[in-house]
A and B are shown apart, each in its own frame.
Chain A
């Protein structure tokens, strides 16, 4: 300001001409500059500093919020990774369970199939045995029936066919048998 006053004093001629042209009132301008300075000082002391503090606080809060957001994002990423890992583990376990269940089902199926085949084979064997027994029984019954019919027919005709010579020959056979027994016992 002093320099400005000195400059003003030195160049009074031109400056004064310009000041007069623009209507400058130096005392009034000085008073306004002083009052403006006082206002600036007051504003700086009571408003600007609190605003700056508030802005700094806001900035710190924003930075903390950004840091928290980054931390949350990192936590989210970590959680996502854990989730993915858990899902993969669950998938692996589920796959293992499914494979185990399939293997168990295959074993059970194989065992049941084997049992069913065994039972079927036993039933088949039993059926064959029963059929063979029935066949044997029917064959035996048929033979007996044929034998009975043959004997019946023979009995019916033998009495009429045999001559007295045949009767004597047959009786002599038994007599010879007795004679042989007598010879052996003697």
Chain B
């Protein structure tokens, strides 16, 4: 039986093995998971839980959620995606979402970073100023 600290350490080691050129390789992630499951260790659930948490965090950090009130034109989508990859690297995954409650403008969230130029955010700022 290993401790939670040891499980976290082994999960980090496995997570490092999944990196290729600084990005997490999805194929390697699958292989690691299968390997751990086939090994049948008693501590597998704890290690896999920490490992999946690290993968989830990495995906969250490398996923850009781009929300807009109306569908964005293709040229604007391309320029925005290029700008984001310029900041966060080529491994960034983008997801364009239509969200009418924004009223207008665009809201981008990458990990903990948020670029909010939506009308909803401006109205919220206006309301906070009162």
Chain A residues with a Cβ under 8 A of chain B: 143-144, 146-148, 150-151, 154-155, 158-159, 162, 164, 166-168, 170-175, 177-179, 181-183, 185-186
Contact = CB atoms under 8 A, between A and B. Distances in A.
A175 B106 contact: yes
A168 B73 contact: yes
A168 B79 CA distance: 13
Given A144-B130, A151-B126, A167-B69, A174 B108 contact: yes
A149 to B, nearest CB: 10
B115 A181 contact: yes
Contacts of A167: 68-70, 104-105
Given A144-B127, A164-B70, A174 B86 contact: no
B84 A182 contact: yes
A147 B126 contact: yes
Range of interface residues on B (Cβ < 8 Å): 20 to 34
Contact of A143 (B70, B76, B79, B130): B130
Contacts of A143: 130
Nearest to B64: A178
A162 B55 CA distance: 40
Interface of B: 68-70, 72-73, 76, 79-80, 83-84, 86-87, 100, 103-108, 115-120, 123-124, 126-130
Contacts of B86: 182-183, 185-186
Contact of B117 (A164, A173, A185): A173
Minimum-distance CB pairs A-B, first 3: A147-B130, A174-B117, A182-B86
A182 B104 contact: no
Given A144-B127, A171-B68, A171-B117, 8 more contacts: A148-B130, A150-B127, A158-B119, A158-B123, A162-B119, A167-B68, A174-B107, A174-B116
A162 to B, nearest CB: 5
Contact of B87 (A170, A171, A172, A178): A178
A170 B105 contact: yes
B130 to A, nearest CB: 3
Contacts of B123: 151, 154-155, 158
Given A146-B130, A159-B100, A186-B86, A170 B119 contact: yes
